Chain A
Amino acid sequence: MSILINSDTRLAVAGITGREGSFHTLNNRAYGTNVVGGINPKKAGENVEGIPVFANWADCVAETQANTAMIFVPPPFAAASALEAAAAGVAVVIIITEGIPAHDELKLYNQVKRDYPGTTIIGPNCPGILSPGEANVGIIPASFFKPGNVGVVSRSGTLTYQIGNELAQKGFGNSSIVGIGGDPVPGSSFIDIIELFENDPQTELIVMSGEIGGSAEEEAAEYVKNHVTKPVVAYIAGFTAPEGKQMGHAGAIVSGSAGTAKAKAEALEAAGIRVGRTPTQTAEIAMEILGAPVA
């Protein structure tokens, strides 16, 4: 088992005809993901290496029964495309696009919650999801990861690879790796993903990788304390970040005393979650808890 995407995933991609969109779509297909269609209103009827292109999400879903969407279109159009996918009945919508206005994300989140509660949004500004051995949707370099019992959820893409790689070098594989993105209003939060890992029989340990800004890590700490039986290990980036400076991600900013790495680490530790001080140490804690993996 894995979470959110697996061998039953039927993926369609908005922005499939773009340079990045086509590159990563074909990468995902080469990994074994079942890519059934793409969207581009101006190129309906064409195909990308055999993947049919549709004018809109409704046509695509009717024709291909796509159940998973990947959004690669530019920021001004990305939220609208994600909403259209949800309206067409797609169950999991993964938004890779970086740079979407926060208000667009805010309206998207609230509208999907109200009108299409059956749809899960992942991202925006995220690397996607990898369920090793089953499916890859997004830009995670899959060759570094193999199937296993560690679930990873992270706000940062490259930091996910770093921690995933540290785990891989110690012999661990992953049930799923989920990037929830570094924006102020992510479609899914740590809690949503941790809940899925808690209910996933393959996952025996959960690694969460957070960063400065907002209070999602503190909320996750509270949730884990009250609802999660599996061990959770955390890492937080941004201890040296100065106040008031946005550290790359739109959501990564310390404002006043709120959102500091120190406060987050303390909240997690108070909830009984061990926090690694470096990515390497985070992987070492995971190994201490699970024991060395059986080769």
Chain B
Amino acid sequence: MSALRSYRLLVTWQARRMKMFLPLGIVVQALFSFGIVAGYPLLFPAMDRTTILYLASGGPAVSLITVGLVAVPQLVSQARTEGTLDYMRTLPILRVVYLLADMTVWLVVVVPGVAFAVVVAAIRFGLDLHVSPLVVPAVLLVVLTATSVGYAMASLLPPLVAQMASQILVVFILMFSPLNFPADRLPDWLAAIHRVLPIQAMGEVMRGTLAPDAFPLTLGAVALLAAWCVATFAASSLVLTRRA
């Protein structure tokens, strides 16, 4: 049976399973990005152009990352607990295809919110963003990596631990990750951690393509993301195949 056909069927299956959640997820994502772009200026009324650009590009990045690292582990843990994941594992489909189909549905959830946030930011701050066409592969890479990490968390950790870890991650991503502010404001030790974790690189890749005039897109960030993506995708796929 062709991988393409199972991919198509699985995407439809997952989209239908999530059809109540999909519109809600899209709205929540849009509001989330909007909240960051419109809310931060209330905290800091006087902002220079760099700060504004950080917010305009950081909002969409936060939105992409939280779906992968927070929503995915929660829903996958739930699927594990209720037995859906084991049922899927009894079907004659490739694990990679199953993962990719699931991630496709997540992509549909996050992308409208990101686009909306960028537009809001441009209008709110009167920005003239020259968005690079590379934003398309950048979003794909960030979403794929974030959902892969989320999947790996949910696959490797016990369900309850995965759900709690994802809650704590929200605060870590929102407040202690250099997405809405430059990394040099962090204490050295935290900055060092972020040089290895994928969160900062996700922010850099998004910034480097949403506002390429102000931020460089470094090969280092792309390479780090790619490494995380491959490693966590392989781990999730391995766990899905594992027979205890």
**Is A bound to B?**
no
Which A residues contact B (CB, under 8 angstroms)? none
